[in-house]
Amino acid sequence: MLDPQLDHTHDAAVLSWVASANDPATDFPLQNLPFCSFRRAGTLEPLRVGVGIGDQILDLSAWGIADLNAVMARPSAERRALRHRLFDTLKAGAPEVALVPQAQAEFALPCRIGDYTDFYTGIHHARAVGRLFRPDNPLLPNYQWVPIGYHGRSSSIVVSGTPLRRPRGQVKPPDADVPVFKPSARVDCELELGLFVGPGNALGEPFSIDEADEHAFGLTLLNDWSARDIQPWEYQPLGPFLAKNFGTTISPWIVTMEALAPFRIPFTRPAEDPQPLPYLDSPAHRANAAFDIELEVWFKTPAMSEPTRLSRSNLRHAYWSLAQMLTHHASNGCNLQPGDLLGTGTLSGPAPEEAGSLLELTGGGKQAFTLPNGEQRSFVLDGDQLGLRAFAVKPGFRRIGFGACDGTITACLSA
């Protein structure tokens, strides 16, 4: 991906007339300006496109913007121009306009998600899970050559805060001759980021790795819930099905690629590893296609008053870049469309405390973790809340956050 030119909208010295946006701990300073879809809580108002600023929302209906997918479809130059206009509207000294407190808002999915593709870019997660499922062959030979992905179900993507029912599926215990259909006892999280597609490409017309920036709109936090006891029995040969399709939780906020420009870093591979094929490689891509974004997993049981952090990782651990995900997806002529969502896959790091799933944290469920109040867990029980957080920090720039991505598992319905 080509590094966008940093401009005045990244200047950390510029403050906002919105006081909460100047708090160093806020997710949404003036330099972020993430998009969302919302309405006032307790009303039946139509959903509106909004922009986060501190603890407030700027309603874009007065700007004639009622469809975020239409904004996503615009060329990158027009998206930058909109960012500049938003920045100038909200910076200190500009005339103040009416805002909506986030605490008084009800959020929906930020845009219409036509298609959802989940990738598998976290090599540390791939190796860890592979050792559990295939001890003799943890990393399949294609992993270091091709960005692995599969098509998920967009209809069960939900916004942060939406409860999800415990899934059912076929489970085959190791000592059983036949499987049984039952509620999952091993519901897990997956720490991911989701990439929203901006302008699409026509059917049959791929684009180059250096054109991928034009097709990337922004990132959101994504928890691709998994039923680990259902998955091993069903995933071969076509991949997971009921183990995944019961729900995927995302943050209500989309942080734009323009906001994340200061946090780009070089994309590198170990010298001894296969290097990407030419269609997934270029000097410009190697220069700045990776991102330094911190990622966290938080956990809260019904008996806890506050959540506790379980692990912390980083997008820089991804083996495949966001640009490579986009380019490979369209390389055979597949037509991506504005609002399509591409999950990164679980973004674990190399250390045990950087695990992006409970499966890794517990060694396949064999070693329960102890919470601050003394409770123990291996997987998610009914009533437990799993939360993801993300932020980017760099000296000389404002902290850019992603908001909350929280979900609670509730009891499954009776058969």
Q: What is the pLDDT of residues 226-238, one digit of tens each?
A: 999 999 999 888 8
Mean pLDDT to the nearest integer, 245-262 = 98
115 is written with which tokens? 């298609």
Residue 162 has pLDDT above 70, yes or no: yes
The sign of the dihedral angle between the CA atoms of 153, 154, 155, 159 is positive
**pLDDT tens-place string over residues 172-223:** 988 999 999 999 999 999 999 999 999 999 999 999 999 999 999 999 999 9
Query: What mean pLDDT is reported for the chain?
Result: 96
- Work out the widest C-alpha separation in the chain, in whole angstroms: 72
Are β-strands 264-265 and 290-291 bridged in parallel, bridged antiparallel, or unpaired?
Answer: antiparallel
- Does residue 303 have a pLDDT over 50? yes
Q: Name which of 363, 412, 414, 360 is nearest 164 in CA terms.
A: 412
Residue type, 36: C
pLDDT value of residue 234: 93
Is the pLDDT at 358 greater than 70? The verdict is yes
Contacts 24+ apart (CB under 8 A), 380-383: 380/187, 380/188, 380/189, 380/409, 381/301, 381/409, 382/166, 382/409, 382/410, 382/411, 383/301, 383/302, 383/408, 383/409, 383/410
What percent of the chain is predicted at pLDDT more than 90?
92
* Secondary element (H or E) of residue 143: none
Residue 5 has pLDDT above 80, yes or no: no
How large is the average pLDDT for residues 121-142?
Answer: 89
Question: Where do the DSSP E strands lie in 4-135?
Answer: 35-40, 48-53, 56-59, 100-101, 105-108, 116-119
Token duo for residue 109: 């999915």
Q: How far apart are CA 167 and CA 409, in angstroms?
A: 9
Return the pLDDT at 4: 53
Percent of the chain with pLDDT over 70: 99
**Res 3: pLDDT:** 41
Active site residues: 125
**What is the model's pLDDT at position 136?**
82
Give the bridge partners for 389, in sequence order: 296
Three-point CA angle 177, 171, 381, nearest 5°: 140
Reported as a pLDDT band with limits 50, 70 and 90, residue 364 is very high
Q: Answer whether residue 147 shows pLDDT above 80.
A: yes
Residue 276: both structure tokens together: 């990407």
Yes or no: say if 153 and 245 are a contact pair by the CB < 8 Å rule: yes
Q: What is the pLDDT of residue 415?
A: 59
Q: What is the pTM of this model?
A: 0.96
Name the DSSP letter for residue 18: S
Rounded-to-integer distance, Cα 296 and Cα 193, Å:
11
Q: Beta strands of 238-383 (E only): which ranges?
A: 248-250, 255-256, 264-265, 290-291, 294-300, 308-314, 341-343, 369-370, 376-377
Cβ contact 156:246 at 8 Å: yes
Cβ-based burial of 24 (10 A; exposed 0-12, middle 13-18, buried ≥19)? exposed
pLDDT of residue 86 exceeding 60: yes
The answer, yes or no, to whether residue 413 has pLDDT greater than 90, is no
CA angle in degrees (0–180, nearest 5) for 352-354-360: 55
Band of the pLDDT at 1, cuts 50, 70, 90?
Answer: very low
Cα gap 343→322, rounded to integer Å: 10
Task: Say if CB 166 and CB 407 are below 8 A apart.
Answer: no
List, for residues 18-48, the tens digit of each pLDDT value.
999 999 999 999 999 999 999 999 999 999 9
Predicted confidence band at 130 (pLDDT cuts at 50, 70, 90)?
confident
Give yes or no for residue 142 having a pLDDT over 70. yes
Instruction: Give CA–CA dist 160/404, Å, rounded.
Output: 7
Cα 217 to chain centroid, rounded: 13
159-174 mean pLDDT: 96
